[in-house]
Amino acid sequence: MLFILFNTILPWKGRDFPNKAEILYSEGTINYNYQQDGRSKRLLLILDNVNNTKEHQVFGCSYSAYSTPSTSVCISKKYIEDYIGKKAIFGWYYQTDFFGFHNPIPQLVSINVDGKYIKSYEDTKKNFLKMNIGRSFISLINLIISFLIFYKFIYPLDSIKK
């Protein structure tokens, strides 16, 4: 219940979105892989040969301190199929920690291939704000329900009538 309260009172903490100037950029080759998560497979977006090294980077799109790449999908395969193996520039950031949660996965903000944005900062920010409003609303509903249940157990109707 305490987590729900903090999540409602501090609705943007741990789900911050950076200014354009705070975005970090990596250049490499677009790739993907699937991660088995229970009964479902999730698409992981990967950037190979990051900044001309043999390293790769896996990106998440949960935009939250308490999520992992396996709980978020950055983009559907049908939108990136034509770009697999092509050079791209990914814009990303690290999410701030919140209430003991830490998300070490870079959060994808933009994808630029040959000067064309497949995923833009502006679109990501707009979707992020919609997502946070929904999360805040759900947290508020959970807080109210939790409070009502807690109140019912602390002050049952029988004790009020006596």
CA angle 33-39-44, nearest 5°? Answer: 20
Cα dihedral across residues 88, 94, 95, 99: positive or negative? positive
What is the pTM for the complete model shown?
0.70
Evaluate whether 150 touches 126 at the Cβ level (below 8 Å): no
DSSP state of 94: P
Q: Given this model, what pLDDT does residue 132 score?
A: 64
Burial of 119 (0-12, 13-18, 19+ CB in 10 A): buried
What φ, ψ does residue 140 adopt, rounded to 5°?
-65, -45
Mean pLDDT of 113-139: 80
In this structure, what token pair is assigned to residue 86? 């092509």
pLDDT at 6: 54
Give tens-digit pLDDT for 46-65. 899 988 888 999 888 776 66
Please report, rounded to a whole number, the percentage of residues in the chain having pLDDT higher than 70.
Answer: 70
8-state DSSP, 104: -
Q: What angle do CA 25, 97, 14 make, to 5 degrees?
A: 85
What pLDDT band is residue 100 in, cutting at 50, 70 and 90? confident
Distance CA 131, CA 133 (A): 6
* pLDDT at site 11: 47
Q: Which of 63-67, 117-121, 144-148 has the highest mean pLDDT?
A: 117-121
The domain ranges of the chain are 2-161
